[in-house]
Structure 1
């Protein structure tokens, strides 16, 4: 799981350097699914989503990530909605399907 998480973060960072925000956010969503139960990583992914939203000029993403950062700090170890992508466009409490290739890595 650590390796898959690190790969998704690196792919997101490369996409952000190219200003390819859709690709970056797609990789951050996948990293989010992997990191949800680990407070530090979970919070880091929401921070990176906020940064991507800022760079993209996406007010909805920026505003939506602020409470998610706080919630990730408070609730990561208590309860998370399995498979949730972490994006501001989805309900933060809604479980979602885990991508097939990540399913074996997500408890």
Structure 2
């Protein structure tokens, strides 16, 4: 499974959770989608927009403000530098690398291997 496919799977799980009112589970899946998508500008932005939506549903002004700033940063910096494993919520330092869950690390390693293989052709 590619990182994009895994991102879409996490995104769909987040949508299902927020539709059923489980905002904590929705946010969890959005954090996972953030880890998977942060090197792809549009996916990175989508993960932050989703977190902002959950912040809106929670009436959490801090999350809304934090996500607005992170959307701008994602637009500017996704292709330059991202802190690996950062979950993207307003409750974490946006510059702090974090450990990557093993299942996501496997997907990201495979993705990097595919990219390296394509570059060397």
**Structure with higher helix content:** 2
Match in the other structure for 2:43? 41
The structure number with the bigger radius of gyration is: 2
Instruction: Output the CA distance in 2 between the equivalents of 1:55 and 1:19.
Output: 9
Please list every run of 5 or more consecutive structure 2 residues that lacks an aligned counterpart in the other structure: 113-121
Please list every run of 5 or more consecutive structure 1 residues that lacks an aligned counterpart in the other structure: none
**SS of corresponding position for 2:31:** helix
Aligned CA RMSD, in angstroms, stands at 0.8
Q: 1:2-36 CA distances to partner (integer Å, 9 max, x unpaired)?
A: 22111100000001101211000000000000000
What TM-score, normalized to structure 1? 0.96
2:87 to 85, 88, 94: 85
**SS of corresponding position for 1:102:** helix
